[in-house]
Amino acid sequence: MTSAPLKDRKGEYALFIGCTIATRGLNYEVSARKVAEAFGIKFVDIPGFGCCGYPMSHVDHDTALSIAARNLVQAQERGLDVITLCSACTGALTKASKVLADDKKERDHINKILRESGSPEYLGKVKVTHFTRVLYEWIGPDVIKKKVTRPLTGLRFAPHHGCHYERPAYLFDGFDSAKRPHSLEAIIKATGGTPVRYLNMERCCGGDILAIEEKTATKVVNSKLKDIKDIGADAMVLHCPFCSIMYDEYQATIEEAFNEVYKLPVLYLPQVVGLAMGMDPKKDLGMSLNNVKPKALLAKLGVK
Amino acid sequence: MADEGQVKAEDKTEGTGDKEVPVQEFVVVDCDELDPNFKEEVAREFGGENIRRCFQCGTCVAMCPVAEHDPRYDPRRIIRMVNMGMRKQVLSGPGIWLCSGCYNCFERCPQDVKPTQIMQAIQHIASREGYTHKAFKGAIGLLVQRGRLIEVSEFDNRARGKLGLPEIKEDAEPTKKIVLHEKIEKRGEEKKPETNKDEKTAEGAK
């Protein structure tokens, strides 16, 4: 790890929540804000943020990159770096941040589009970091451990790193292994919980093709839920709203379609960290918004 | 790809033919219809640069969470078809849209072919040629209309307020301007009018 710790950074960041979290991931947003606050990170909300550009990465390169760059400009105008929660947003914004920092020709080209679309130019300096990376790298498991007042001892968590958080490695300075990611495990350990490894752990949620081929996407989801069921876990832990839609919102549909019973609670990482820090599951961590209710898990901790 | 092997194995052991097993459609290649420049065209796109390096080892397929469940998606086959110049079959086929973009193949390809980015590069060409998948047509429409992929309704803002989260005001203009500047908006138009179902599934994914 070469990244500077939080104490050596300025504590103010633009929070990029994107489209999905804003309406369908309020439990993620509220828990991430609470946990960030507890570690002294101040989030600034920028009204000018819009779509991150990710959906257009399947349509047109320049459009996707320009939409992403326009968002980076919003942060640049306020002198802020960006913290993201959604992995798809992380992928799109990091790609723009990296490509436009390294490649002047590409930056000039995108800036022409921005100029002609009425946006200020992008200077190529804004950094984008996923909130999990903030917890893992800037804050670190050791500091998280010190804040734990309600250790999650005896609980088994199946981490799902997803895709655009650490892959492709060249965009993310290889801060976590692209083939065998482990950062979620380190944070789960810090909370006192037990991370479990399962078959095909690195495989994706299939969320990207849900609108293309729903049947195939649900098969992709089902195979992972099965792998986790085989190993046994109290909850799955993830950090992307797409993944949560697939594993949490779709779980009942999948149980019916494949004649399976999973009843596997799916928690966002900040919900797990917040729980260990003694936060209120409903009020602070929005757990009543999780589709599969983590009742049994909370009962094990003696929390209502 | 694995399916071919499975079919053969079944044929040998049971001799019952391949009724139950999905067989890949074998395409007859008409040399007159091949476009030898197609690979160069893909190589000129962002991320398509290394397509000619592919030596067909199949690591991408072995690692692919989609190929495991859907025989229509086979990145090795698609890359081979590009290198052979089967432009029309590739651009009009369903395969290129089935990549879930997980980058597992990208990280493991021994030739650094970057299959994930190659699929996007091909999608970009396909989109220019009028083959934009209907899910993304819906997404283009939403970006022009709202500047976001999912509407933030009054109801949503009330729910946000209850949790102490800041209100979100939609502002489509800045994103719309970029989409219009790049002349993408026309690709969002279906020959027949968009049905609600398309919009719903596009939202469901994102």
pLDDT of res. B19: 45
Last residue within a domain, chosen from A107, A130, A153: A130
The domain total for chain A is 2
For residue B205, pLDDT beyond 60: no
Residue A193 inside a domain? The answer is yes
Mean pLDDT, residues B152-156 taken together: 96
pLDDT of res. B191: 56
So what's the ipTM on this one?
Answer: 0.95
Residue A1 inside a domain? The answer is no
Same domain, residue pair A122 and A177:
no
Q: Tell me the residue range of the domain where A46 lies.
A: 6-130
B residues 95-114 lying closer than 8 A (beta carbon) to A: 97-104, 106-108
The average confidence (pLDDT) of chain B is: 85
Interchain proximity A208–B101, CB inside 8 Å: yes
Same domain, residue pair A145 and A293:
yes
> What domains does chain B contain, in order, with CATH numbers?
28-128 (1.10.1060.10), 134-205 (no CATH)
pLDDT of res. B188: 85
Mean pLDDT, residues B113-119 taken together: 98
Which residues of B fall within a CB distance of 8 Å from A30?
A: 163-165
CA–CA gap between residue B129 and residue B84 (Å, rounded): 19
Neighbouring C-beta atoms of residue A131, cutoff 10 Å:
28
pLDDT of res. B23: 52
Residue A247 inside a domain? The answer is yes
- Which of A23, A50, A163 is the closest to B174 by Cβ? A50
Same domain, residue pair A83 and A109:
yes
Neighbouring C-beta atoms of residue B18, cutoff 10 Å:
13
Q: What band does B12 get if pLDDT is binned at 50, 70 and 90?
A: very low
Same domain, residue pair A59 and A86:
yes
pLDDT of res. B199: 45
CA–CA gap between residue A177 and residue A194 (Å, rounded): 20
Interchain proximity B101–A33, CB inside 8 Å: no
Interchain proximity B135–A62, CB inside 8 Å: no
**Domain harbouring A210, CATH code:** 3.40.50.11810
Same domain, residue pair A32 and A71:
yes
- Which of B69, B163, B179 is the closest to A220 by Cβ? B69
**Domain harbouring A54, CATH code:** 1.20.1050.140
pLDDT of res. A10: 83
pLDDT of res. B30: 87
Residue A120 inside a domain? The answer is yes
Interchain proximity B66–A209, CB inside 8 Å: yes
A147-151 long-range Cβ contacts below 8 angstroms, 24+ apart: A147/A38, A147/A39, A147/A277, A148/A190, A148/A191, A148/A192, A148/A276, A148/A277, A149/A276, A149/A277, A149/A278, A150/A275, A150/A276, A150/A277, A150/A278, A150/A301, A150/A303, A151/A191, A151/A192, A151/A276
Is the previous residue joined to B65 through a cis bond, with omega within 30 degrees of 0? no
Same domain, residue pair A151 and A286:
yes
Same domain, residue pair A171 and A69:
no
Which residues of A fall within a CB distance of 8 Å from B139?
A: 55-56, 59
Same domain, residue pair A204 and A164:
yes
Q: Which of A38-42, B26-30, B33-37, B188-192 bottoms out in mean pLDDT, i.e. has the lowest?
A: B188-192
Mean pLDDT, residues B115-124 taken together: 98
Model confidence pLDDT, tens digit, residues A247-294 = 999 999 999 999 999 999 999 999 999 999 999 999 999 999 999 999
For residue B27, pLDDT beyond 90: no
Which residues of B fall within a CB distance of 8 Å from A113?
A: 178, 181-182
Interchain proximity A212–B133, CB inside 8 Å: yes
Smallest CA–CA distance, residue B35 to chain A, in Å, is 22
Q: CB–CB of B119/A209 below 8 Å? A: no
Three-state secondary structure along chain A? CCCCCHHHCCCEEEEECHHHHHHHCHHHHHHHHHHHHHCCCEEECCCCCCCCCHHHHHCCHHHHHHHHHHHHHHHHCCCCCEEECCHHHHHHHHHHHHHHHHCHHHHHHHHHHHHHCCCCCCCCCCCEEEHHHHHHHHHCHHHHHHHCCCCCCCCEEEECCCCCCCCCHHHCCCCCCCCCCCHHHHHHHHCCCEECCCCCCCCCCCHHHCCCCHHHHHHHHHHHHHHHHHHCCCEEEECCHHHHHHHHHCHHHHHHHHCCCCCCCEEEHHHHHHHHCCCCCCCCCCHHHCCCCCHHHHHHHCCC
Last residue within a domain, chosen from A130, A152, A168: A130
For residue B9, pLDDT beyond 50: no
Is any Cβ of chain A less than 8 angstroms from the Cβ of B144?
Answer: no
Compare all CA atoms of chain A with the CA of B149 and give the residue at the minimum distance.
A19
Which residues of A fall within a CB distance of 8 Å from B46?
A: 61
pLDDT in tens, chain A (304 residues): 457 888 888 889 999 999 999 999 999 999 999 999 999 999 999 999 999 999 999 999 999 999 999 999 999 999 999 999 999 999 999 999 999 999 999 999 999 999 999 999 999 999 999 999 999 999 999 999 999 999 999 999 999 999 999 999 999 999 999 999 999 999 999 999 999 999 999 999 999 999 999 999 999 999 999 999 999 999 999 999 999 999 999 999 999 999 999 999 999 999 999 999 999 999 999 999 999 999 999 999 999 7
Same domain, residue pair A107 and A198:
no
Residue A136 inside a domain? The answer is no
A155: which 2 tokens? 């609980």
Residue A160 inside a domain? The answer is yes
Q: What band does B15 get if pLDDT is binned at 50, 70 and 90?
A: very low
Model confidence pLDDT, tens digit, residues B74-111 = 999 999 999 999 999 999 999 999 999 999 999 999 99
Map tokens 């839609």 to a residue.
A245
Same domain, residue pair A156 and A87:
no
Compare all CA atoms of chain B with the CA of A224 and give the residue at the minimum distance.
B65
Residue A43 inside a domain? The answer is yes
